[in-house]
């Protein structure tokens, strides 16, 4: 099993993280020493199964205790056909990752061949060269019918590996949603007559999302456009900014984000290895709205004159805090509602 080794600081939410499509192509290591103590229920999956390539923990709990638990973390890995390893000094590996950055890695099951593991790790290409989006996007469009006071609003969501809770956050507000594959053309999206475009999270380098960038360029100014995580990076690229790979990324449920307008600091859930270069944001057209309080990286972007907002973190949480769920998705609803009222969509 090969992948880029990354770490997350979450001590709960392993079920959501392992099934998050944004972890495609990566081996996930938890810094918290005990994982699996409440088992696996399947009720909080963020996709149809495990998307991380493998799991690294200090200790895996083989006998979980929770009323919702249906199987152990070990049984889950077996059912998914994925590899995991325990008994690892995850503290040492985390310190090494912080010092040297994310590293290519490999897990071998059934034999102890360190040289072979090193060979497998070295032969894999850099994650920036991999097309991971095509492996996690939906194969064909599907609809989530609106059932609420704003079912008159129709969103098209470009699926780069969408988490289920993003869909739940939108659907809970009654929005009618059509989810389409990442390769869907601008014309196909226009033919669906959306009131807004929403770009999801997803794995890998945003430069791989060539079609997504083009769609945003084509539709900028014709309808509201929103994005989360990879979607935020794609929108930023379409608006002329550049992205770069972080040394070891932001992954966890305790990332502080400062809102530059209000000065409020929110605690957020994050999972990304790339970021938007704030120095390349065109200040005449767009503005950075939020930054990471730890390293000042870009966490939010908005167009100064058009209905475009996006965030780097995960406001839908799961796992993680709910500080920004209402703030972000209510703002999305408000912007799309106003645009529809005055007829600003194609």
Residue 250: give its domain's CATH number.
3.40.50.880
Q: Within this chain, do residues 145 and 170 fall inside the same structural domain, yes or no? A: yes
103 and 217 assigned to the same domain: no
CA 194 to chain centroid, in Å, comes to 23
**Number of domains forming the structure of the chain:** 2
My answer on whether 160 and 22 are in the same domain is: no
CATH of the domain at 41: 3.50.30.20
Query: Per the residue annotation, which of 229, 232, 303, 310 is the catalytic one?
Result: 229
Over residues 47-65, the pLDDT tens digits come to 999 999 999 999 999 999 9
Residue 168 — very low, low, confident or very high, per pLDDT cuts 50/70/90?
A: very high
Query: What's the mean pLDDT in 13-17?
Result: 97
Domain boundary among 124, 153, 177: 124
Quick one: 34 and 66 in the same domain?
yes
- 4, 299, 316, 325: which one is catalytic? 316
CA dist 165 and 274 (Å) reads: 22
Query: Is residue 45 very low, low, confident or very high in pLDDT (cuts 50, 70, 90)?
Result: very high
Which pLDDT score is estimated for 1? 85
Q: Which long-range contacts (CB under 8 A, 24 or more apart) does 218-221 make?
A: 218/186, 219/186, 219/189, 219/190, 219/346, 220/303, 220/306, 220/308, 221/306
Residues 214 and 90 reside in one and the same domain: no
Residues 144, 101, single domain; the answer is: no
Half-sphere exposure of 230 (CA within 13 A, CB side): 32
Q: Is 193 exposed, middle or buried (0-12, 13-18, 19+ CB in 10 A)?
A: exposed
Question: pLDDT, tens digit, for every residue of 278-321?
Answer: 999 999 999 999 999 999 999 999 999 999 999 999 999 889 99
DSSP state of 38: T
Q: Is 250 among the residues known to form the active site? A: no
CA separation (Å) from 205 to 25, 164, 213, 256?
11, 21, 12, 23
The pLDDT score that the predictor gives to residue 110 is: 82
Q: Which pLDDT score is estimated for 344?
A: 61
- Residue 229 annotated to the active site: yes
290 occurs within a structural domain: yes
Find the catalytic residue in 154, 250, 314, 318.
314
**pLDDT average, residue stretch 145-160:** 91
Strand-pair partners of 24: 52
Position with higher pLDDT, 108 vs 158: 158
108 and 201, same domain (yes or no): no
Per-residue pLDDT for 346 more than 60?
no
* Per-residue pLDDT at 260 exceeds 80: yes
Task: Give the structural domain span for 216.
Answer: 133-341
Tell which of 124, 143, 163 closes a domain: 124
Instruction: Say if residue 166 is in the same domain as residue 274.
Output: yes
118 shares its domain with 140: no
Indicate the range of 26-30, 111-115, 151-155, 315-319 predicted with least confidence. Answer: 111-115
Are residues 42 and 167 both part of a single domain?
no
Q: What is the pLDDT of residue 89?
A: 97
Whether residue 234 is contained in a domain is answered as yes
Question: Is 316 labeled as catalytic in the residue annotation?
Answer: yes
Q: Tell me: do 155 and 60 sit in the same domain.
A: no
pLDDT of 149 > 90? The answer is no
Q: Within a 10 A sphere around the Cβ of 324, how many other Cβ atoms? A: 25
In a domain, 217, yes or no: yes
Euclidean distance between CA atoms 214 and 122, whole angstroms: 33
In a domain, 346, yes or no: no
**Are residues 152 and 99 part of one domain?**
no
Domain boundary (69, 93, 124) is at 124
Spatial separation of the C-alpha atoms in residues 226 and 273, rounded to whole Å: 20
């Amino acid at each position: 099993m090969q992948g880029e080794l990354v770490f997350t600081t979450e001590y709960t939410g392993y079920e959501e993280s392992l099934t998050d499509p944004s972890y495609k192509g990566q081996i996930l290591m938890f810094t918290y020493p005990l994982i699996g103590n409440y088992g696996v229920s399947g009720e909080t999956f963020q996709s149809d199964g495990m998307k991380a390539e493998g799991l690294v923990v200090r200790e895996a709990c083989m006998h979980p205790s929770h009323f919702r638990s249906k199987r152990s973390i070990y049984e889950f890995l077996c059912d998914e056909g994925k590899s995991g390893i325990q008994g690892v000094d995850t503290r040492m590996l985390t310190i090494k990752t912080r010092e040297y950055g994310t590293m290519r890695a490999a897990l071998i099951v059934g034999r102890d061949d360190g040289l072979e593991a090193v060979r497998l790790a070295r032969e894999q290409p850099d994650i920036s060269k991999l097309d991971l989006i095509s492996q996690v996007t939906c194969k064909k469009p599907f609809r989530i019918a609106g059932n609420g006071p704003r079912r008159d609003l129709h969103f098209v969501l470009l699926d780069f590996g969408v988490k289920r809770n993003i869909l739940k956050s939108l659907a809970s507000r009654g929005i009618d949603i059509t989810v389409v594959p990442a390769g869907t053309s601008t014309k196909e999206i226009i033919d669906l007559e959306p009131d807004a475009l929403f770009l999801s999270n997803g794995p890998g380098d945003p430069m791989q999302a060539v079609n997504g960038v083009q769609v945003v360029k084509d539709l900028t100014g014709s309808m509201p456009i929103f994005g989360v995580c990879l979607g935020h990076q794609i929108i930023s690229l379409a608006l002329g900014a550049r992205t770069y790979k972080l040394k070891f990324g932001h992954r966890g449920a305790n990332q502080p984000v400062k809102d530059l307008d209000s000065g409020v600091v929110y605690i957020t859930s994050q999972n990304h290895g790339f970021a938007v270069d704030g120095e390349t944001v065109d200040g005449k057209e767009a503005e950075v709205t939020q930054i990471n309080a730890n390293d000042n990286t870009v966490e939010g972007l908005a167009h100064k004159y058009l209905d475009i907002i996006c965030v780097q973190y995960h406001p839908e949480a799961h796992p993680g805090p709910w500080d920004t769920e209402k703030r972000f998705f209510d703002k999305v609803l408000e912007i799309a509602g106003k645009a529809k009222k005055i007829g600003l969509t194609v």
